[in-house]
Amino acid sequence: MELSKQLTVVLTTHILPTAPSTYIIEECIKSIREQFEGINECKFLIVCDVKNPNSSTTKEYINNLRKIKNIDLVESPNSSLQINYNKAIDLITTPFMLFVEHDWIFLNKINLTNLLKTISENIFINFIRFNKRDNYKAHIDNPEPGDGDFWETHIEIETKDLPSPLIKTNCFATHPHIIRVSKFINDWRILLKTFSIEWDIHEKYNEAINKYGFIEAHNTWGIYNYGKINDKKIITHLDGSNSGRI
């Protein structure tokens, strides 16, 4: 499998409080390159939300992003995560996208060949999310201090024999994930009605679950968490925007 023809890595960023330093996104990129076996064959694309383009901090931040080795940079004036996500989807030419916001760190080795084999050979798989919590419980049963919203209320082990283990979930969220580009373009993009890509898709997915039941809805949507049920969390958050979220 030629990984470069299967997957593009897309990162989004904006002018962080730590700008003009690019330390945070460089740590993110470093962790991706170290933990995904073979991913250095793939194209890396950064889409940057550029506000106040004439400020010295913005100019220096952009210049520093351009100095990062083996990445392409797209400037996206006065944008948002949803705008940047759509822009990236339209720019890339591979069937799958690894999407990562600028301040996530991967903690464990991932066999990318097996993972892409899993999603490419099984049309019922459309979205694989990397968990910031241990896999053994849904978020509602596995809260962290300060948590108030619990989008994930159900998980279920995928019993099919796949190259990479997966867990069915009722939660769509834009934490780091791999997505089937054609599914997004053909079926999911039309669902976007607000500024929040994850809320719009998550809401429609759960409407389908309420109407048809989890099994039937999941068979159509194909949304998963990566890994085995006893796996520890696979990502951690640097919180580059000082949001207070872990």
pLDDT in tens, 25-45: 999 999 999 999 999 999 999
Q: Do 38 and 120 share a domain, yes or no?
A: no
Task: For residue 221, tell me if it sits in a domain.
Answer: yes
Q: How far apart are CA 91 and CA 88, in angstroms?
A: 5
C-alpha dist (Å) from residue 135 to 104, 131, 132, 161, 191 = 18, 7, 9, 19, 28
Contacts of 225 (CB under 8 A, 6+ apart): 128, 129, 130, 131, 135, 155, 166, 167, 169
Q: What is the pLDDT of residue 243?
A: 53
Q: Do 112 and 232 share a domain, yes or no?
A: yes
Q: How many domains does the chain have?
A: 2
The identity of residue 215, as a single letter, is: I
Which parts of the chain sit beneath pLDDT 70?
240, 242-246
Q: Do 114 and 225 share a domain, yes or no?
A: yes
Contacts of 124 (CB under 8 A, 6+ apart): 219, 222
Vertex 72 angle, CA 68 and 77, to 5°: 105
CATH code of the domain containing 33: 3.90.550.10
Q: How far apart are CA 145 and CA 26, in angstroms?
A: 28
Q: Is the peptide bond before 53 cis (omega within 30 degrees of 0)?
A: no
State the pTM of this model.
Answer: 0.95
Q: Do 139 and 47 share a domain, yes or no?
A: no
Q: What is the pLDDT of residue 236?
A: 96
pLDDT in tens, 48-65: 999 888 899 999 999 999
Task: For residue 243, tell me if it sits in a domain.
Answer: no
Q: How far apart are CA 215 and CA 183, in angstroms?
A: 19
- CB atoms under 10 Å from CB of 239, counted, come to 13
Q: Do 123 and 227 share a domain, yes or no?
A: yes
Q: How far apart are CA 235 and CA 176, in angstroms?
A: 8
- CB atoms under 10 Å from CB of 45, counted, come to 19
Task: For residue 244, tell me if it sits in a domain.
Answer: no
Q: Do 149 and 199 share a domain, yes or no?
A: yes
Q: What is the pLDDT of residue 246?
A: 54
Q: Do 52 and 153 share a domain, yes or no?
A: no
Task: For residue 225, tell me if it sits in a domain.
Answer: yes
The DSSP H or E segment spanning 146 is none
Task: For residue 52, tell me if it sits in a domain.
Answer: yes
Q: Do 70 and 153 share a domain, yes or no?
A: no
Q: How far apart are CA 70 and CA 11, in angstroms?
A: 13
Residue 180's domain comprises: 108-236
Q: Do 50 and 153 share a domain, yes or no?
A: no
Q: Do 2 and 47 share a domain, yes or no?
A: yes
Task: For residue 246, tell me if it sits in a domain.
Answer: no
Q: What is the pLDDT of residue 242?
A: 58
Q: What is the pLDDT of residue 240?
A: 64
Beta bridge partners of 36: 110
